[in-house]
């Protein structure tokens, strides 16, 4: 870690949200400006899907900066917001923590059973908001994987939850080699900023089995924005109700897309694996 040119000790939490793994750096007192290769090394050392920095914010409880494991900075991460919210709620004793990201200001609160809820705001459904390279019906875009005349994956629904998502609805999510298929869609020409790729199996109107290939991170045990995107796309297509349990490899997230204000609420577990101080 000595490659990061800091000399002061910094607090770091290793946490996960439903298995989605994070290295969270407390940058409120000590600046934290790692280079791309340093983020990659941190992610490797901590076995983290994302690296997070909690920074001071003049108006909110904190600003959250997010890097994927490949070193790219991104605008949103739902499970990381729940983990950072858990830390801030514990520090302040507040009922709600407001966390600003590059995408939006999000609000985290306690839920029953030690769970944490984050209000992810409204999904973005305009083709230019996702963004797509050209105007297209976002309920099923022109992406096909496999033979042109008989593709085994085609026409994913797309939505942005502060980051882009393409969701394929499949009969059996376990039947697909996601590490092989995910990269084919992640940087498809239709997605100029890349995309997260969800494989969603609707079990019933209140349950979805989901696996996600995350842009810049690969196959992860959970993806919070991916779960929100899958529920929104499923409810929009009348495949499910507007509230459902999303079963991911690392745990279950409950997603509700409220009709009253169009906001998406995500509720699920967080785990603090360890806390340490390191010299940067």
Rounded to two decimals, the pTM is 0.92
* 83 tagged catalytic: no
Q: What is the structure's pLDDT at 30?
A: 87
Tokens standing for 47?
């076995």
> In angstroms, what CA-CA distances link 57 with 91, 104, 114, 136, 144?
16, 13, 27, 38, 43
Query: Domain-by-domain residue ranges, the chain?
Result: 9-121+269-279, 144-262
pLDDT along the chain (280 residues), means of 10: 58 97 95 93 96 97 97 94 98 96 95 97 96 97 89 95 97 96 96 97 98 96 97 98 98 98 98 90
Range 9-121+269-279 classified under CATH 3.10.310.10: yes
* 223 tagged catalytic: yes
Catalytic residue among 77, 83, 228, 233: 77
> In angstroms, what CA-CA distances link 15 with 21, 52, 158, 208?
6, 10, 29, 25
Catalytic residue among 83, 223, 228, 233: 223
Three-state DSSP state, 203: strand
Angle at 235 between CA 232 and CA 238, to 5 degrees: 150
> In angstroms, what CA-CA distances link 262 with 122, 125, 180, 234?
5, 12, 35, 15
Q: What is the structure's pLDDT at 72?
A: 95
Q: What is the structure's pLDDT at 177?
A: 96
Do the domains at 9-121+269-279 and 144-262 have one common CATH topology? yes
Closest CA to 18 of 254, 250, 255, 265: 250
**Across-strand partners of 213?**
197, 219
Q: What is the structure's pLDDT at 7?
A: 61
Tokens standing for 91?
């520090």
- Which residues 6+ apart lie within 8 Å of 166 measured at CB? 141, 143, 156, 157, 158, 185, 191, 195, 196, 197, 198
- Which residues 6+ apart lie within 8 Å of 27 measured at CB? 10, 53, 54, 55, 65
Give, in words, the CATH class of 144-262. Answer: alpha beta
């Amino acid at each position: 870690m000595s490659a990061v040119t800091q000399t002061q000790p910094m607090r770091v939490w290793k946490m996960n949200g439903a298995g989605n793994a994070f290295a969270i750096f407390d940058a409120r007192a000590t600046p934290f400006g790692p280079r791309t290769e340093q983020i990659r090394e941190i992610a490797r050392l901590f076995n983290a899907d994302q690296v997070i920095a909690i920074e001071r914010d003049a108006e909110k409880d904190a600003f959250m900066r997010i890097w994927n494991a490949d070193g790219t900075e991104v605008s949103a991460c739902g499970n990381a917001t729940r983990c950072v919210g858990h830390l801030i709620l514990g520090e302040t004793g507040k009922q709600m923590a407001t966390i600003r990201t590059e995408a939006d200001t999000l609000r985290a609160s306690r839920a029953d059973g030690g769970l944490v809820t984050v209000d992810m705001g409204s999904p973005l459904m305009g083709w230019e908001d996702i963004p797509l390279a050209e105007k297209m019906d976002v309920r099923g875009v022109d992406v096909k994987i496999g033979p042109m005349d008989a593709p085994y994956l085609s026409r994913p629904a797309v939505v942005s939850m502060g980051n882009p998502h393409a969701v394929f609805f499949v009969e059996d999510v376990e039947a697909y080699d996601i590490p092989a298929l995910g990269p084919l869609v992640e940087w498809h020409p239709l997605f100029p900023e890349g995309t997260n790729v969800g494989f969603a199996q609707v079990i019933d109107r209140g349950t979805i089995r989901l696996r996600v290939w995350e842009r810049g991170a690969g196959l992860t045990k959970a993806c919070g924005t991916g779960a929100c995107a899958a529920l929104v796309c499923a409810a929009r297509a009348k495949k499910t109700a507007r509230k459902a349990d999303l079963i991911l490899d690392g745990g279950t997230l409950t997603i509700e897309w409220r009709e009253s204000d169009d906001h998406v609420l995500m509720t699920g577990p967080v785990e603090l694996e360890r806390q340490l101080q390191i010299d940067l």
